[in-house]
Amino acid sequence: MGQEAYKQFGNRFPLLIKFLDSNQASSIQVHPNDFLAHKRHNCWGKDEMWYVIDAEEKAEILSGLSQSLTPDRFMEIIRQAPRPDSTHPFMDYVKSHPSHPEDVFFLPSGCIHALGAGNLVAEIQKTSDVTYRVFDFCRKDKDGRQRELHIEQAQDAIDYNITNTESISYDHKASVAKLVDSNAFQSYRLNVDGPMTTDLHCDSFVVAICLQGKGMLNETPIRQGETFLLSASDNVLRLDGKVVLLVAHI
């Protein structure tokens, strides 16, 4: 874990690493911050990021508000009835971003968001399972019941000033490009073309996700779709081959 990481998180691993393959849109949702999550659920809040590995034509990501709201105005809008096409008037207030391969979106706690259909993304997030669903497109479970929404909880969890949520700008050709620098984690995109050594100068474990290609990582073969966990005592990355990695540490 690394000494500083262990002091902060103890025996609980602080990050979740996922691949999300969306054949339909996720619910429109929000995650509470650490203060609210601890107060309500005795757990951490959640910051997360999405790296788009692949996206179908017209795929989109919903992230942030198109204009600042107040909690009362949010409740006025979200209590309106869904539309006949199973969308909701609240969606007019949520930003829609076209999704393309290699796009990166950072979703801090409090940010309204949804993963649109047709996206394959790598997700890095703080370890937390607390999600407040705001709207779920009127879908029903196997028993014919709509999934529970968490409107009142979301009202206090939303950051109503998060409107600048475009994809993160970075140098796609750089050998090392920093993507996210948050209190929850730091992440980088590594573009490897031949021998390369990268020291992230952190007292932390490192997670390395292979997004493209194949090569060697610390003398071990790595190929697309594989994820490696390197201990803090061996977190200098010795790389070779032609490969693109998404790397994270705390």
CATH code: domain of residue 209? 2.60.120.10
**pLDDT tens-digit readout, 30-49:** 999 999 999 999 999 999 99
pLDDT score of 184: 93
3-state SS track over the chain = CCHHHHHHHCCCCCEEEEEEEECCCCCEEECCCHHHHHHHHCCCCCCEEEEEEEECCCCEEEEEECCCCCHHHHHHHHCCCCCCCCCCHHHHHEEEEECCCCCEEEECCCCCEEECCCEEEEEEEECCCCCEEEECCCCECCCCCECCCCHHHHHHHCCCCCCCCCCCCCCCCCCEEEEEECCCCEEEEEEEECCEEEECCCCCCEEEEEEEEEEEECCEEEECCCEEEECHHHCEEEEEEEEEEEEEEC
* pTM of this prediction exceeds 0.85: yes
Q: Which domain holds residue 31?
A: 13-157
Average pLDDT over residues 58-72: 96
Do 54 and 145 belong together in one domain?
yes
Domains identified in the chain, total number: 2
pLDDT higher at 190 or 146:
190
Given a cut of 90, whether residue 5 has pLDDT beyond it is no
Binning pLDDT at 50, 70 and 90, where does residue 4 land? confident
Do 38 and 94 belong together in one domain?
yes
pLDDT score of 233: 93
Residue 151 inside a domain? The answer is: yes
Do 29 and 118 belong together in one domain?
yes
Q: Please, are residues 179 and 245 in contact by the beta-carbon 8 Å criterion?
A: no
Phi, psi of 91 (to 5 degrees): -65, -20
Residue 215 inside a domain? The answer is: yes
What is the overall mean pLDDT for the chain?
96
Average pLDDT over residues 62-68: 95
Given a cut of 90, whether residue 143 has pLDDT beyond it is no
Residue 164 inside a domain? The answer is: no
Do 23 and 95 belong together in one domain?
yes
Do 56 and 27 belong together in one domain?
yes
**pLDDT tens-digit readout, 168-190:** 999 999 999 999 999 999 999 99
pLDDT score of 55: 98
Do 99 and 194 belong together in one domain?
no
Residue 111 inside a domain? The answer is: yes
Residue 5 inside a domain? The answer is: no
Given a cut of 90, whether residue 107 has pLDDT beyond it is yes
Do 140 and 242 belong together in one domain?
no
Residue 162 inside a domain? The answer is: no
Do 86 and 122 belong together in one domain?
yes
- Joined tokens for residue 209: 């996700």
